[in-house]
């Protein structure tokens, strides 16, 4: 089977020729110099069964047309750099300020690690402007999508981003204010979610009749902010479920699927996720990083959602953890997840091997990644 056939077979709840394994390498200069990095990159390119990004919708800035620019507002060589990001929309400008240390900007650091000093959406006025802005159907580039699918071929399953209004509000805003607005500004929050939901549905339903080479698969990164310890079931059912259900119904109406990313304590929400139309979920973190028991998850929703992950790569960075310890994690995950299909093996702390705050952590993660591949070769065949 090709990786694409393997993933789709598992997603259709049949057992493929081997358990699908998702794996990516962080391809910074520092990582590529480390022992084992080239082997993992070769595995990623030729053997791994990955969902691969393609262009499609332009969701703009939370559903609004936008242009972006950046300016350095302070640079202290050797210490830190502060940058202002300005997003211009029909609702006015939204700005953020971030601070990078030079350690993170160096080859040994993590350029994606930074401190946010100011969020795009911090004040109630920011939120009002966003909620009341005119909204129109978002553009979809079918030619770019089909070119992306053709480039991937059998190497994986094409996937593209889906605008999640509440998730993007929380990621772009000061999150404690977003939670407070659910309590203190309920009419405004409901206006924002209703208008965004209709915009997304209209955009999705416009795909009917568009010639697409592959059925669309969409991914969101949102739900982890709306489950415990942040929100409980009552708030989830009020602010997430009804809006996501309407969007997912539209996804399914155009022959698509929704793949959701959700760290943390998702175990108690799996049936609600399936009920609201989620078709796949990662990374299914086990304790202590989440509350997912893979065998129980299979019993609950194993014929309703593709379950992906369950290898707690947070352990890869602990001094007491060794690459040899990966073997048992892989064996247990495959034993619990693989029967009957509906499962892909992947790490939980990050989808990418080679992350870490320093060279030693990156090197150890690579060795654990190699151990994961070796164990998968032993246990992952049907």
In this structure, the answer to whether residues 231 and 208 fall within a common structural domain is yes
How many beta carbons lie within 10 A of that of residue 32, not counting itself? 14
Question: Within this chain, do residues 59 and 71 fall inside the same structural domain, yes or no?
Answer: no
Q: What is the pLDDT of residues 118-129, one digit of tens each?
A: 999 999 999 999
pLDDT of residue 111: 61
| Same-domain status, 297 and 233 | yes
- Per-residue pLDDT of 209-245, as tens digits, reads 999 999 999 999 999 999 999 999 999 999 999 999 9
The answer on 241 and 344 residing in a single domain is: yes
Is there a single domain that holds both residue 77 and residue 177? no
Is the per-residue pLDDT at 285 higher than 90? Answer: yes
Q: Are residues 180 and 51 in the same domain?
A: yes
Residues forming a β-bridge with 75: 81
Q: Is residue 126 part of a domain?
A: no
Which pLDDT does position 202 carry in this prediction?
A: 98
Which domain CATH number covers 51? 3.20.20.210
Residue 329: per-residue pLDDT: 97
Are residues 69 and 41 part of one domain? no
Return mean pLDDT, the chain.
95
Q: Is the pLDDT of residue 102 over 90?
A: no
Pair 77, 55 in one domain: no
Q: What is the CB neighbour count within 10 angstroms for residue 68? A: 9
Decide if 102 is inside a domain.
yes
Residues 76 and 176 in one domain: no
Residues 194-213 pLDDT 10s: 999 999 999 999 999 999 99
- How many CA atoms lie within 13 Å of 227's alpha carbon, on the beta-carbon side? 19
Q: Specify if 200 maps to a domain.
A: yes
Residue 302 lies in a domain: yes
**Is residue 318 in some structural domain?**
yes
Is residue 231 assigned to a domain? yes
**Which one of 118, 153, 181 terminates a domain?**
118
The whole-number pLDDT of residue 28 equals: 87
Peptide bond into 283 cis (omega under 30): yes
Query: For residue 379, what pLDDT band results from cuts at 50, 70 and 90?
Result: very high
pLDDT in tens, 327-352: 999 999 999 999 999 999 999 987 78
At 355, the pLDDT band (50, 70, 90 cuts) reads confident
How many Cβ atoms from other residues are within 10 Å of residue 112's Cβ? 9
Q: Taking the model in full, what pTM does it have?
A: 0.94
Confidence (pLDDT) at 310: 96
Asked whether residue 49 falls in the same domain as residue 74, the answer is no
Res. 24 pLDDT band, cuts 50 70 90: very high
Q: Is the per-residue pLDDT at 365 higher than 70?
A: yes
Give the number of domains in the chain. 2
User: Does residue 128 lie in a domain region?
Assistant: no
Place 292 in a pLDDT band, splitting at 50, 70 and 90. Answer: very high
Beta-strand pair 257-261/217-221: parallel
Kindly tell me if the per-residue pLDDT of 182 is higher than 80: yes
Q: Match 């979920």 to its residue by tokens.
A: 281
Give the pLDDT band (50/70/90) at residue 189: very high
SS (H, E, C) the chain: CCHHHHHHHHHCCCCCCECCECCEECCCHHHHCCCCHHHHHHHHHHCCCEEEECCCECCCECCECCEEEEEEEEEECCCEEEEEEEEEECCEEEEEEEEEEHHHHCCCCCCCCCEEEECCECCHHHHHHHHHCCCCCCCECHHHHHHHHHHHHHHEEEEEECCCHHHHHHHHECHHHHHHHHHHCHHHHHHHHHHHHHHHHHHHHCCCCCCCCCCCEEEEECHHHHCCCCCCHHHHHHHCHHHHHHHHHHHHHCCCEEEEECCCCCHHHHHHHHHCCCCEEECCCCCCCCCCCHHHHHHHHCCCCEEEEEECHHHHHCCCCCHHHHHHHHHHHHHHHCCCCCEEEEECCCCEECCCCCHHHHHHHHHHHHHHHHHHHHHCEC
Determine the pLDDT at residue 105.
66
Domain coverage including residue 109: 65-118
Decide if pLDDT at 109 tops 70: no
| Whole-number pLDDT of residue 103 | 74
Residue 124 domain-assigned (yes or no): no
Q: Which of 27-36, 132-141, 142-151, 346-355 has the lowest mean pLDDT?
A: 346-355
State the pLDDT at residue 108: 62
Where among 53, 87, 118 does a domain terminate?
A: 118
Q: In which band, very low, low, confident or very high, does the pLDDT at 319 lie, cut at 50, 70 and 90?
A: confident
Phi, psi of 269 (to 5 degrees): -115, 5
CA distance linking residue 272 with residue 266, whole number of Å:
10
Q: What is the pLDDT of residues 43-101, one digit of tens each?
A: 999 999 999 999 999 999 999 999 999 999 999 998 999 999 999 999 999 999 999 88
Q: Are residues 76 and 44 located together in one domain of the fold?
A: no
pLDDT of residue 112: 67
Mean pLDDT score, 140-161: 98
Same domain, 85 and 22: no
């Amino acid at each position: 089977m090709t990786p694409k056939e393997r993933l789709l077979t598992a997603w259709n709840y049949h057992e493929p020729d081997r358990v699908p394994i998702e794996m990516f390498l962080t391809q910074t200069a520092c990582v590529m110099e480390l022992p084992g990095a080239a082997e993992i990159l070769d595995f990623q390119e030729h053997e791994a069964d990955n969902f691969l990004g393609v262009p499609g919708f332009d969701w703009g800035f939370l559903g609004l047309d936008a242009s972006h620019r950046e300016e350095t507002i302070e640079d202290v060589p050797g210490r830190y750099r502060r940058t202002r990001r300005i997003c211009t929309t029909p609702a006015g400008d939204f700005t953020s300020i971030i601070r990078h240390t030079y350690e993170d900007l160096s080859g040994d650091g993590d350029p994606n690690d930074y401190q946010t000093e100011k969020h795009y959406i911090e004040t109630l006025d920011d939120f009002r402007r966003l909620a009341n802005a005119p909204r129109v159907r978002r553009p979809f580039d079918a030619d770019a999508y089909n070119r992306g699918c053709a480039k991937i071929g059998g190497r994986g399953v094409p996937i593209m981003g889906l605008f999640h209004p509440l998730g993007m509000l929380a990621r772009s805003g000061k999150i404690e204010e977003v939670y407070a607005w659910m309590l203190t500004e309920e009419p405004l929050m409901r206006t924002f979610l209703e208008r965004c939901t209709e915009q997304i549905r209209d955009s999705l339903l416009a795909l009917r009749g568009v010639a697409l080479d592959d059925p669309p698969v969409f991914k969101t990164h949102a739900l982890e902010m709306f489950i415990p310890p942040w929100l409980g079931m009552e708030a989830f059912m009020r602010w997430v479920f009804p809006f996501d259900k309407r969007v997912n119904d539209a996804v399914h109406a155009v022959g698509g699927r929704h793949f959701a990313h959700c760290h943390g304590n998702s175990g108690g929400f799996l049936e609600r996720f399936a009920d609201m139309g989620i078709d796949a979920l990662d990374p299914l973190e086990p304790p202590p990083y989440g509350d997912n028991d893979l065998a129980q998850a299979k019993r609950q929703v194993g014929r309703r959602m593709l379950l992906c992950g369950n290898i707690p790569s947070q352990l890869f960075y602990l001094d007491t953890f060794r690459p040899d310890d990966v073997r048992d994690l892989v064996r247990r995950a495959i034993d619990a997840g693989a029967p009957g299909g509906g499962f892909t093996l992947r790490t939980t702390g990050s989808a990418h091997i080679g992350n870490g705050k320093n060279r030693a952590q990156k090197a150890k993660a690579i060795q654990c990644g190699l151990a994961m591949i070796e164990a998968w070769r032993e246990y992952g065949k049907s």
